[in-house]
Structure 1
Amino acid sequence: MVDRDREYVEFVAAASGSLRRTAFLVCGDWHRADDVVQDALYKLYRSWSKVDRGGNPLAYARRVVVNAALDSGRRSWRREVPTVDLPSDRVLPGDHADEHAERDEVLTALGALAPRQRACVVLRYYEDLSVEQTAQILGCSEGTVKSQVARGLATLRIAIDRARQTERAL
């Protein structure tokens, strides 16, 4: 195996889990996340010789994944509406799964965000990237990241409050 290929395989083994989680948080669907990561890793492999492996190849890979996740949401097949809604699992008060319910509540609320807001919030607070790093990955200004995050957090608060009010009413 060529050194370049070995480096790529080692990188994929180390980073694919993180990239998959990021893709899921940006697009909201594990199957789409898998497709996004596969497409991104293919693109990354094609340009692997150009990637500065002495720098931060994870940042480059993350940018490719986030852009692919945002692009996949624009495809016409993503606008299809399911005809049957599956019942949601409800967690009873005092259940040992309260922590999972809160996580699910946040994931559901993330779905209420516009794609760019969602990407900004995920990169800033889940991936713990700086405003500057997030702006570089998304190819926008730092001011745009700040405003998208502020709007995204406000939308998250409203979505979570509504979900909790609905749950109390039931």
Structure 2
Amino acid sequence: MDKALDFEEFASSRARRLFQVAYLMCGDWHQAQDLVQTTLAKMYSAWGRLRRGRDEPGLDAYARKVLLRTYLSQQRLRRSSELVTDELPESPAVHGTGSELRLTLVAALAQLPPRNRAVVVLRYLEDHSTEAVAELLGISTSAVKSLNTRSLAKLRAILGNDRELFLCG
């Protein structure tokens, strides 16, 4: 099969899911699009080598790893220009519709540091095991557990009583 056609098929079938993960990690539509484009561009440049050495699940895992590393790299660059405050922004009011609940959750996720956000998204959206997240992030499983625990505690604090709506709704 032609390299370009093979890659095009892979990219078109995975782009939506990659975008969902990217959006939950960064909380910005345009940045998520850029992350997916960068991920796919990096994969295309090495597609021949990648295709020979991996099956479909292996290619999916590689795509997630590239996406994650690109996101974390961009966050390290942005960190130097961020303004640090001692107050958290107010969380948006939740009125109960599905889209409002999702927006509230995305806003809460955006308040987590990038690595913590990545752990939560990979564990709960992508449903990866602690070991798989540790491998993707290049850290120990105990570090993933610790990040996960701290992240969930912070999300509980941010969401307050609204978190019950996510469990019931």
TMscore range, shorter length: 0.7 to 0.9
Q: Match for residue 133 of structure 1?
A: 132
Shift of 1:3: 2.7
Q: Match for residue 9 of structure 2?
A: 10
Matched residues, number: 153
Q: Which structure is higher in helix share?
A: 2
Indicate yes or no: 2:21 matched with 1:19. no
CA contact under 8 A between 1:22 and 1:66: conserved in structure 2?
Answer: no
**Cα distance, 1:140–1:80 mapped onto 2, change above 3 Å:** closer
Greater gyration radius: 1
3-state DSSP of counterpart to 2:76? coil
Supply the distance in 1 between the matched residues of 2:112 and 2:140 (Cα, whole angstroms).
19
CA RMSD of aligned residues (A): 2.4
1:114-166 Cα offsets, whole Å, 9 max, x none, are: 110000000000111111111121111111111111111011000101878xx
Structure 1 unaligned residues grouped into runs of 5+: 82-87, 165-170
Supply the distance in 1 between the matched residues of 2:67 and 2:54 (Cα, whole angstroms).
17
**Cα distance, 1:113–1:90 mapped onto 2, change above 3 Å:** closer
Higher mean displacement: 152-161 or 42-51: 42-51
3-state DSSP of counterpart to 1:7? helix
**Cα distance, 1:78–1:162 mapped onto 2, change above 3 Å:** farther
* Identity percentage of aligned residues: 39
Indicate yes or no: 2:59 matched with 1:53. no
TM-score of the two chains, using structure 2 as the length reference: 0.80
CA contact under 8 A between 2:119 and 2:133: conserved in structure 1?
Answer: yes
Aligned ranges 1:71-150 → 2 under 5 Å: 71-76=73-78, 79=81, 93=95, 98-150=97-149
TM-score of the two chains, using structure 1 as the length reference: 0.80
Shift of 1:109: 0.7
CA contact under 8 A between 2:24 and 2:121: conserved in structure 1?
Answer: yes
